[in-house]
Amino acid sequence: MTLSEWLDRCERLHPTTIEMGLDRVEQVRARLGLKFACPVITVAGTNGKGSTCAMLESIALQAGYRVGVYTSPHLVRFEERCRIDGVAVDTQQLVPHFEAVEAARGVVSLTYFEFTSLAIMRLLSQAPLDLVVLEVGLGGRLDAVNIVDTDCAVITSIDIDHTSYLGSDREQIGFEKAGIMRAGRPAVVSDPVPPRSLLEHAAQLGADLRCFGRDFSYGAQQGPSGAWQQWSWAGRARRYSGLAYPALRGTNQLLNASGALAAFEALGQRLPISAQAVRSGLALVDLPGRFQIIPGQPVLVLDVAHNPHAVAALAQNLDQMGFYPRTLAVFGAMRDKDITGMLVRLAPLVDEWHFCDLPTARAASAAELAAQFAALDSPGPARGVVTHADPLSALRAAVASADPADRILVFGSFYTVGGVLKDGLPRITTAKHLG
């Protein structure tokens, strides 16, 4: 079977898309004998997970280590979920591990995420690596990735999302995220105001808790023009000064970078990292779809912000970009997200909305998105609302409507951003042409 055929099979194996719990996954893990010989860093959180993983990867690569990374979801190709030495693995590298999971599971039913996670983790466990970075898919305590006893847990920002599975407030969600911690091992928390439930769980467990503002922190310096130019970081025993801003844009990236540096400090005896590796790694880190700005006429911004907390950060980043006569937005999202909460936060900045359908049954239709926008008490300055069959059609319509000095934003689900990237990076050369 090809990888595509395996993925189709995985989608049909289990009666539900998501089923929380580790019993079934643990059974198959044990049969596979899956374990890691190198240090593992597991990253959980509501927002900032992908950026933190990318920074950990980039810094470790610059330090000369062989690094494997598992992240999800992907933007365009499934193979993006697994990187070794900064490169997505080849399709044929994955197929034998899908076969192994199938042989090991017997009658055990696995969800798509559980099956694919086991296959990717098996691939990484058998590669000659110095570090493995695993991104949690949903929550932490009951996520398939949590079958691995991490050497260092990193928990990024915590906010309201996936309430059907994780709870309706930060305390409940914080407890779920805290489930990736292990007794006696480092647990880095980069959320500036972590839920009490997380702190209490760490104390009861006996984890080596490292909190932002107490065990590590950062400071930023402004240049003569008033622009933020450099930053510094201080941990329990290490300090870095005169650091250039990470290549990833956005107001929260210093917080994500701080968590990554705290993780490396915690693992310093096993994975020594030089100051030069930190500088080079942060300068070279790359992650598509995270406040990604593509120059052109008009300028194009891509962001996978898909909950109100992430959209609030996106709005702040957009506000700091400078003046644009108009902002046109392409938006698609899952039906179970707080769509109204996202629209409310961005409505004051958007002059024209292009809502789009997405190729999954979980997604809200473009018509549903438009209806929710119409129901807002204060819809902002928008003078146009258009619906489209897919993200690329929506982007083309936005380009046709925009003037050269305007700005186009594509945001929401990974399917939305991935939909405009599926044929490569869009190049906008004039306000009337997308090539």
- In tens, the pLDDT along 42-56 reads 999 999 999 999 999
Structurally, what CATH architecture does the domain formed by 3-284 represent? 3-Layer(aba) Sandwich (3.40)
Residue with tokens 């909190």: 211
- Give the Cα separation of 299 and 429 in Å (integer): 10
187-235: per-residue pLDDT in tens? 999 999 999 999 999 999 999 999 999 999 999 876 665 566 789 999 9
In eight-state DSSP terms, residue 364 is P
CA distances from 222 to 53, 213, 337, 421 (A): 27, 21, 37, 35
Bin 194: left if φ > 0, else alpha if -120 < ψ < 50, else beta. Answer: beta
Q: Residue ranges of the alpha helices (H) in 106-195?
A: 112-126, 163-166, 170-178
End-to-end CA distance of the chain: 35
Count of all residues that appear for the chain in the document: 435
User: Does 3.90.190.20 match the CATH number of domain 292-434?
Assistant: yes
In eight-state DSSP terms, residue 274 is -
Q: Taking the CA atoms of the chain, what radius of gyration do you get in angstroms?
A: 21
Q: Which amino acid is at 97?
A: H
Residue whose C-alpha is closest to residue 72's, from 100, 99, 53? 53
Question: What is the pLDDT tens value at each position of the chain, 435 positions in all?
Answer: 999 999 999 999 988 777 888 999 999 999 999 999 999 999 999 999 999 999 999 999 999 999 999 999 999 999 999 999 999 999 999 999 999 999 999 999 999 999 999 999 999 999 999 999 999 998 889 999 999 999 999 999 998 776 676 788 999 999 999 999 999 999 999 999 999 999 999 999 999 999 999 999 999 876 665 566 789 999 999 999 999 999 998 878 999 999 999 999 999 999 999 999 999 999 999 999 999 999 889 999 999 999 999 999 999 999 989 899 999 999 999 999 999 999 999 999 999 999 999 999 999 999 999 999 999 987 777 779 999 999 999 999 999 999 999 999 999 999 999 999 988 777 665 444 454
Tell me the domain boundaries of the chain.
3-284, 292-434
> Residues 6 or more apart from 333 whose CB is under 8 A from it?
306, 339, 342, 358, 363, 364, 369, 412, 413, 416
Residue 383, pLDDT score: 78
pTM: 0.93
On whether the CB atoms of residues 295 and 408 are closer than 8 A, the answer is no
Strands 327-332 and 407-412: parallel
125-176: per-residue pLDDT in tens? 999 999 999 999 988 899 999 999 999 999 999 987 766 767 889 999 999 9
> Residues 6 or more apart from 89 whose CB is under 8 A from it?
79, 82, 83, 123
